[in-house]
Amino acid sequence: MATIQKLKLVPLGGLGEVGKNMLAVEYGRNVLIIDAGVMFPEQDMLGVDLVIPDWSQYLKDKKEWVRGIVVTHGHEDHIGALPYLLAEINAPVYATRLTIGLIDVKLQKHGLASRANLHVVAPGERLALGGLFEVEFFHVCHSIPDAVGLAIRTPVGLIIHSGDFKFDHTPTWGLPPDFGTLARFGSEGVLVLLADSTNADNPGFTPSEKTVDEGLDKVFREAKGRVILATFGSLISRVQQIINAAARHNRVVAVDGRSLEESVGRAQDLGYLNVPPGVLVDLPRLKGRPDHQIAIIATGSQGEPSAALGRMANGKHRHITIKPGDTVVMSSRTIPGNDYMVGRAINKLFKRGARVINGKADNVHVSGHASQEELKLLLSLVKPKYFMPVHGEPRHLHAHAELARGQGVPEQNIFIVENGMVVEFDENGARVADRVPGGWVFVDGSGVGDIGPAVLRDREMLSQDGFVLAVARLDQKTGRLIGRPQIVTRGFVFVKDNLELIERAEDEVIAALRMNGYQDPQITIRKALSELLYSETQRQPMVIPVIVES
């Protein structure tokens, strides 16, 4: 059968969006999955807790084909959906030691750790999967130790997947980039390169993690009181830098926030954090210690009110009250869409007297992703025949494609695709084949996939103008109204100040029902009320008639 001879790349997430990276590589009846991450909900995904890739259509009849799940590194946007995926398919997971450790932490929380099939691999190792794929893991630099890229040998050719990376000549942890191996792939001949587009619209080079050491050193040198640093739980390299800087300046470090405690604990257990004796202490043990000997690493870098820094900003933290003399350092990037929340937290911290140091200008954060010159260098080393930008919004994918074109990759060999679009390779070339229906699966509370666009549209409408509900008791024989209708409303107007409007709404329901001879009471009430309320307030609350027959 001809179809078995094709190599298919099927992005299931991470294309045209930030996060929930996931890609399937398919050949014959063999599927290899790369990463399974989550995405933070976008602003209009009201009430949604998490977003995971929608793999249901693609995997529907292919669950038995999955030979393995290969994970490039331990960040949420690459591992966060694994508990949901492993609940559906029981494939082995391959990753480096720290990555497996962080996956294990996650699976434990979901009660899945015992039955998962986790395998530690090392950079340089080659893994045969399903007889037709060979995966070679190669070391890359990123903002977490033990990150890898993937070289996947298939019957159609060699796939290079960059993973998340930057070319950091002086990384915080581990070796500099493995240019030799990348050049070797280039000589071997690369069919297709999939590369990280996160910073593809950023000119120049991303600064080394090392530059953050200088920024942090300045902060610790100048700070007279406590230093509180907000970062992501999974930015293990940053945690190491903070511990180093604190130790140099004779401060102890407390870790505040569950996700940080978990990942720092696991990284330390596995030997990926070097902590001088006595430097890490429990938060309650800071009591009584002079301020200039204290550093705190806290969750809440995105302004989340419920995270450690958010509780400090709101004056709701059990142990820490922000006061003049405190220095707060935002040592992470602000995810697009979170700038309002972050700004609000910063403003509240200022109001409480803290000095707040934020981001790039003060060298307290650098990106973990390659900028344009690095991306060009990767393209030059790997010399792929085909190119497929991954990990990024459309603007990043397009910017990355422009770089590839500039380096001579022919236009028709570049595939800017969306999630679910299948790119197919064979001896005749490459093309976008079919499209697998998919997109987002929303996790809300304990529900996975039980809300969708219809519920979100309702939430959006409710969030704008609230609702007005009219309960009408109708005689089941005559259909006539019994008594006055009851108006129940929330989020529309402040009822106590608008009793007259509510009364007019009741009158309107009575009049409309009577005028219409009690025909189609639902439609009659909805129409009459919507019109009245709009003309009175220029607002469009959700209008819901409820008929009680008696």
Instruction: Give residue 1's identity as a one-letter amino acid code.
Output: M
Q: Residue 97 Cβ, how far from a copy of itself at the closest point, in Å? A: 33
Report if residue 295 touches a copy of itself, rule: CB under 8 A.
no
Q: Residue 540 Cβ, how far from a copy of itself at the closest point, in Å? A: 8
3-state secondary structure of 65: helix
- 3-state DSSP percent of the chain in helix, strand and coil, to 5: 35, 25, 40
Token pair recorded at residue 239 = 């945690």
- The backbone torsions φ and ψ at residue 516, rounded to the nearest 5 degrees and listed phi first, read -90, 10
Q: What string of DSSP letters covers 324-385?
A: TT-EEEE-SPPPTT-HHHHHHHHHHHHHTT-EEEESGGGTS---SS--HHHHHHHHHHH-EE
Report if residue 324 touches a copy of itself, rule: CB under 8 A.
no
Report if residue 140 touches a copy of itself, rule: CB under 8 A.
no
Report if residue 42 touches a copy of itself, rule: CB under 8 A.
yes
Contact 259, 369 (CB under 8 A): no
Contact 525, 545 (CB under 8 A): yes
Among 214, 282, 339, 531, binds a copy of itself (CB under 8 A): 339
Long-range contact pairs involving 83-89 (C-beta distance under 8 Å, separation at least 24): 83/107, 83/109, 83/110, 83/112, 84/36, 84/52, 84/441, 84/443, 84/448, 85/33, 85/36, 85/55, 86/112, 86/116, 87/112, 88/55, 88/59, 88/63, 89/59, 89/63
Among 140, 160, 469, 512, binds a copy of itself (CB under 8 A): 469
Q: Residue 397 Cβ, how far from a copy of itself at the closest point, in Å? A: 8
Q: Residue 394 Cβ, how far from a copy of itself at the closest point, in Å? A: 4
Q: Residue 69 Cβ, how far from a copy of itself at the closest point, in Å? A: 27
Report if residue 214 touches a copy of itself, rule: CB under 8 A.
no
Token pair recorded at residue 178 = 């493995």
Report if residue 473 touches a copy of itself, rule: CB under 8 A.
yes
Torsion 536-542-543-546 (CA) sign: negative
3-state secondary structure of 216: helix
Q: Residue 405 Cβ, how far from a copy of itself at the closest point, in Å? A: 13
Span from 249-257, 294-302, 372-380, 536-544 in contact with a copy of itself (CB under 8 A): 536-544
Beta bridge partners of 472: 547
Catalytic residue, chosen from 139, 369, 391, 396, is 369
Report if residue 1 touches a copy of itself, rule: CB under 8 A.
no
Q: What is the DSSP letter of 1?
A: -
Sheet with strand 227-230: strands edge to edge: 280-281, 252-256, 294-298, 227-230, 327-330, 355-358
Binding track over 144-173 against a copy of itself, x by CB under 8 A: ------------------------------
Contact 138, 178 (CB under 8 A): yes
Known catalytic residue at 369: yes
State in Å, rounded, how far the first CA of the chain is from the last one.
67
Span from 82-90, 158-166, 212-220, 344-352 in contact with a copy of itself (CB under 8 A): 344-352
Give the number of residues in contact with a copy of itself, rule: CB under 8 A. Answer: 63
Report if residue 465 touches a copy of itself, rule: CB under 8 A.
yes
Interacting positions 190-209 with a copy of itself (CB under 8 A): 203
Contact 27, 8 (CB under 8 A): yes
Interacting positions 482-511 with a copy of itself (CB under 8 A): 482, 486, 488, 490-494, 497-498
Among 337, 373, 479, 504, binds a copy of itself (CB under 8 A): 337
Return the number of the residue (193 or 313) whose C-beta is nearest a copy of itself. Answer: 313
Catalytic residue, chosen from 77, 168, 196, 256, is 196
Report if residue 221 touches a copy of itself, rule: CB under 8 A.
no
Binding track over 434-463 against a copy of itself, x by CB under 8 A: ----------xxxx--xxx-xx--xxx-xx
Going by C-beta distance under 8 Å and a sequence separation of 6 or more, which residues neighbour residue 533? Answer: 468, 492, 505, 539, 540, 541, 543
Q: Residue 200 Cβ, how far from a copy of itself at the closest point, in Å? A: 12
3-state secondary structure of 192: strand
Q: Residue 50 Cβ, how far from a copy of itself at the closest point, in Å? A: 12
Q: Residue 453 Cβ, how far from a copy of itself at the closest point, in Å? A: 9
Q: Residue 183 Cβ, how far from a copy of itself at the closest point, in Å? A: 31
- Tell me, letter by letter, the H, E, C secondary structure of 428-495: CEEEEEEECCCCEEEEECCEECCCCHHHHHHHHHHHHHCEEEEEEEECCCCCCECCCCEEEEECCCCH
Contact 74, 235 (CB under 8 A): no
Return the number of the residue (176 or 394) whose C-beta is nearest a copy of itself. Answer: 394
Return the number of the residue (104 or 205) whose C-beta is nearest a copy of itself. Answer: 205
Return the number of the residue (63 or 539) whose C-beta is nearest a copy of itself. Answer: 539
Return the number of the residue (304 or 444) whose C-beta is nearest a copy of itself. Answer: 444
Q: What's the angle, vertex CA 229, arms to CA 228 and CA 234, rounded to 5? A: 145
Return the number of the residue (114 or 550) whose C-beta is nearest a copy of itself. Answer: 550
Active site residues: 196, 369
Residues that bind a copy of itself (CB under 8 A): 16, 42-43, 46-47, 203, 336-337, 339-341, 343, 346-348, 350-351, 356, 361, 393-395, 398, 444-447, 450-452, 454-455, 458-460, 462-467, 469, 471, 473, 482, 486, 488, 490-494, 497-498, 536-539, 542, 544, 546, 548, 550
